């Protein structure tokens, strides 16, 4: 990263009632090690809390960890709230235990790439970096 480049800001969120946050903490740490600015929301966040934090923190990316099976509700809800807040320029991505058919459906709705268990953290880092390069280049940032 050159002196003129700013760090990519990522909000790592753990929505819903799922109490397993080890994966979210691992990815947050990996993002920090990669040079991203990371805000971790902690457990049991509502979609409204996640979007509020994303807007307040002026993040580039919301990365949600969903292991509860509620991904088909949570991702679209966060996506809709981002749109309502005029923040649909924020990349919504994430991971968890999500069946392949649901991954395809969510991605067809405009959710970013989703990562399953066992995916190297470098895959998510590379994806976000590439998205950031392309997105900011098209916006002239």
Least confident of 1-5, 28-32, 82-86, 120-124: 1-5
The answer to whether position 4 is within a domain reads no
Structure tokens given for 94 = 């994430």
Q: What is the pLDDT of residues 37-89, one digit of tens each?
A: 999 999 999 999 999 999 999 999 999 999 999 999 999 999 999 999 999 99
Per the structure, the complete domain to which residue 35 belongs is given by 9-139
Strands 9-13 and 37-40: parallel
In a domain, 129, yes or no: yes
Task: Supply φ then ψ for residue 7, to 5 degrees.
Answer: -70, 150
Tell me whether residue 2 is in a domain: no
CATH code at 89? 3.40.50.280
């Amino acid at each position: 990263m050159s002196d003129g480049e700013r760090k990519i800001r990522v909000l790592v969120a753990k929505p819903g009632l799922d109490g397993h946050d080890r994966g979210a903490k691992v990815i947050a740490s990996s993002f920090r090690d990669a040079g991203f600015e990371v805000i971790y929301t902690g457990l049991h966040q509502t979609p409204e809390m996640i979007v509020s934090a994303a807007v307040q923190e002026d993040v580039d990316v919301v990365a949600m960890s969903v292991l509860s099976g509620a991904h088909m509700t949570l991702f679209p809800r966060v996506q809709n709230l981002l749109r309502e807040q005029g923040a649909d320029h924020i990349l919504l991505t994430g991971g968890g235990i999500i069946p392949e058919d649901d991954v395809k459906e969510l991605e067809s709705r405009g959710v970013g790439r989703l990562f399953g268990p066992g995916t190297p953290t470098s895959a998510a880092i590379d994806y976000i970096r590439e998205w950031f390069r392309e997105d900011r280049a098209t916006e002239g940032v």
